[in-house]
Amino acid sequence: MTRSKLSLISVVVSALLLSGCAGGGSSSTAENFVAGNGVVTFIKPAERKPAPVISGKTLEGATYLQPRGKVVILNVWASWCAPCRAEAPALVSLSQMYPEVSFVGVLIRDNFSTARAFVKRFKVTYPTLVDESILIKFRNTLVANAIPTTLIIDANGKVAARISGEITVASLTDLINKIKAGK
């Protein structure tokens, strides 16, 4: 084989391997997703953009409408996602520590029966939306760029921060306290 053919094959194989991490499509398996590494992005209040209104059907069949005037923690998760399973107890604990903050999940690329089992196993008490298309509405601000992703919306309805990947109690607590304080 010539050097140029080997180079071309190398490029094609690399592109195929990388596309496996792209997270596109609507598959309900864990084959294609991007795992974050816990990077925190914080936006100063003067630079924040309005978040879309968060509403829709929940995993339990109820209708959810984002409360006004409250900090909102929006966690994007799936039952097959190992970092989602790892962070679930911390999110449940923080939702109980901060009852004045609204926690809501967004189920992505999953089926309802395994998601319900996840909610039961981890004793998740906050609602989970089942329409992942809500995430498209964040395209002009911070987007959910990994599974899991946690977006924080301030009390003025503006996107204030994102944790790309698994949250830690320390990182999310720090963000909640800063944002609640108007920072």
Q: Are 74 and 151 in contact (CB under 8 A)?
A: yes
- Answer whether the bond into residue 148 is a cis peptide, omega within 30°: yes
Neighbours of 122 (CB within 10 A): 16
pTM over 0.85: no
Indicate whether 6 pLDDT > 80. no
Number of H helices, E strands in the chain: 4, 8
* Mean pLDDT within 148-158: 96
The residues facing 39 across adjacent strands are: 164
53's CB contacts (< 8 A; 6+ apart) are 65, 66
Range among 16-20, 64-68, 124-128, 130-134 rated most confident? 124-128
Q: Give Cα 136 to chain centroid, integer Å.
A: 12
Q: What are phi and psi of 160, to 5 degrees?
A: -105, -30
CB-count exposure of residue 103 (10 Å: 0-12, 13-18, 19+):
buried
* Angle at CA of residue 108, ends 27 and 111, nearest 5°: 65
**pLDDT tens-digit series, residues 55-75:** 999 999 999 999 899 999 999
**pLDDT tens-digit series, residues 156-167:** 999 999 999 999
pLDDT for 183 equals: 86
Tell me the one-letter amino acid at 92: V
pLDDT for 37 equals: 67
CA distance linking residue 143 with residue 141, whole number of Å: 6
Q: What mean pLDDT, rounded, does the chain reach?
A: 83
CB-count exposure of residue 17 (10 Å: 0-12, 13-18, 19+):
exposed
As given in the structure block, the two tokens for residue 2 are 């010539």
* Mean pLDDT within 72-99: 96
**pLDDT tens-digit series, residues 133-143:** 999 999 988 88
